[in-house]
Structure 1
Amino acid sequence: MYEFQGVIGYFSILGLMILEGIGFPIPSEIIMPLTGYYSHQGSLNLFLAVLVGSLGSLTGSIIDYFIGLKLGLPFLKKYGKIFRLTEDKLERLNGWFAKHGSLSVFSLRFVPEIRALISFPAGIASMSLLKFIVFTFAGHIIWDSVLSVLGYIFYNQINYVIMLAEKSDYYILGAFIVVLVIGIIYWKFKK
């Protein structure tokens, strides 16, 4: 099993979280609890791991922000019909984002799937880069801290799952992850 250790561990966390911030299907819900787990083992510093993970997510979010900024409304006006976005809907969406953008950028950082996507409308709406960075980083640092602390607290449970997985050629870990993902999806749709 791969272990996050030392400088290579921090670079791994950074790289994975940049990809997560861009929107690749690399869930922080797995990466950050593992940083807590390895911090409990002494392989990583919890504070530094959270900071590195959050900076990675922020970097990925800034990339998406600039994609939205560069493509902007002209792109959506030209190709928005594919997504059923009329010019009227785009104007209303842009107005709504101008009014609620900061709160959206912060609060949607706590919603899996959408957390990476909110950077695009921020760029499209030409939100202030400084404001975007502040609200984005605040959301990421809270989210990543909670996940890492949970991994740290539930070290024994995670350790038990890892031990079982190593004994059973990762089938149990795979089943656990599938059940966990299904549970999270069920919980999200139930709300």
Structure 2
Amino acid sequence: MIYVFQGTQGYVFLLVLMIGEGLGLPIPSEIIMPLVGYYSFLNQLNLVLGIIIGTLGSLVGSVIAYIIGLKLGYPFLSKYGKYLFIDNARLMRLHNWFLKYGDIAVFSFRFVPEFRALISYPAGVAQMRIIRFLVFTVLGHSIWDVILSLLGYHYANQINYIITLAEKFGIYALAVTIILIIIYVILRIIKK
């Protein structure tokens, strides 16, 4: 079995992943934090330290996103948000939610997978006070990360079973995926 979060480099890897998640990149905390619990169950990570580092990473990413929104504003995000995986429709929905609900949006959206990291951008655009932003962000990230990590710890045996199946059948899935991609490309070429 491959231990992704093993030793000191595991904590660094966790921090980097969660910073990316906090920025809104397609790095799901819904997978990362249960793995913290799983690797804690295997004694590869300390559960409490893993939760703290994961939450710190999310917080750093969220603060960077907040600063981007604060300093560069809505026009920048509208024009260049696609490079941060933020389309205009999603940005407008978040902006409207933030204008309507303010602080509570920053806290409650931390529990909505698609929008949890992206709410930091409109908070910055709206110039939410940084202390209020930090309080609601830390609370939201902490609760989310603790719950996901504890679920990973509690269901470690089931996760181990899934990992064993993935290792066993992963090569077959990879082969089928490659064949399907080749067939798709050939059909596209023939269609043109």
TM-score grouping bracket, smaller chain normalisation: 0.7 to 0.9
The code of the aligned residue for 1:14 comes to: L
Measure how far apart 1:97 and its partner are. Answer: 3.6
Is 1:5 the counterpart of 2:6? The answer is yes
The code of the aligned residue for 1:69 comes to: L
Confirm or deny: 8 A CA contact 2:78 2:88 kept in the other structure.
no
Confirm or deny: 8 A CA contact 2:98 2:106 kept in the other structure.
no
CA RMSD in angstroms comes to 2.8
TM-score, normalised by the number of residues in structure 1:
0.77
Confirm or deny: 8 A CA contact 1:23 1:117 kept in the other structure.
yes
Moved more, 67-76 or 102-111: 67-76
The code of the aligned residue for 2:154 comes to: I
Measure how far apart 1:73 and its partner are. Answer: 5.1
Number of residue equivalences: 164
Q: Distance in 1 between matches of 2:98 and 2:28?
A: 26
Counting aligned pairs with the same residue, the percent is 61
Q: Distance in 1 between matches of 2:153 and 2:77?
A: 43
Measure how far apart 1:102 and its partner are. Answer: 1.1
Residue segments in structure 2 that go unaligned for 5+ positions in a row: 81-86, 175-192
Q: Distance in 2 between matches of 1:41 and 1:23?
A: 29
Look up the SS of the partner of 1:44 in the other structure.
coil
Aligned to 2:138: 137
- Give 4+ residue runs of structure 1 displaced > 3 Å after superposition: 73-79, 96-99, 170-173
Alignment of 1:19-168 (within 5 A): 19-72=20-73, 83=88, 93=96, 97=98, 100-168=101-169
Q: Distance in 1 between matches of 2:41 and 2:19?
A: 24
Q: Distance in 1 between matches of 2:30 and 2:132?
A: 25
Distance 1:169 1:59, change over 3 A: same
